Amino acid sequence: MATRTASAEWKGGLQEGDGSFDSASGAIGGKYSFESRFTDAGGTNPEELVAAAHAACFSMQFAAMLEGTGHTPDSIRTEAKLQILKDGEGFAVKKITLTTVGRVSGVDDATFQDIARQAKEGCPISKALAAVETIELDATLES
């Protein structure tokens, strides 16, 4: 399988420094800082990137699993909210909430919910984030 590559560089101390990151494909990249990570200041941060990866991975996994049961979705739209909290002397990701809305013809809500749960457990990014204490899922089937 493919190996994906990204790199980051941080310059300076924690609060006064700043960093930048790039992906090998050039599709993503940007700058980040203490403020963009721990306050509502502009700019991105590692947690936002993890949330984006989780939302994208889950949406693809869910679509594949629905398709595998004969219910190809019109769309799966997922938002991931990742919470970083103080943990001892450092910080830790303690909770991720996935909120997904699917437009899928011919599937009942019970089946939709069951497949959503399985997709959350089977998504490679969910597996990579297994150390996160809580990964919640709120799935809505839209008609």
pLDDT tens-digit map of 76-114: 999 999 999 889 998 899 999 999 999 999 999 999 999
SS3 26: coil
User: Side chain identity at 11, as an amino acid letter?
Assistant: K
Percent of the chain with pLDDT over 90: 87
CATH of the domain at 123: 3.30.300.20
Contact 129, 93 (CB under 8 A): yes
Q: Are residues 19 and 89 in the same domain?
A: no
Q: H or E element: which one contains 66?
A: helix 46-68
Q: Is residue 1 part of a domain?
A: no
What band does 122 get if pLDDT is binned at 50, 70 and 90? very high
Is 1's pLDDT higher than 90?
Answer: no
What band does 61 get if pLDDT is binned at 50, 70 and 90? very high
Question: Total structural domains in the chain?
Answer: 2
Cα separation, 40 vs 43, in Å, equals 9
Q: H or E element: which one contains 53?
A: helix 46-68
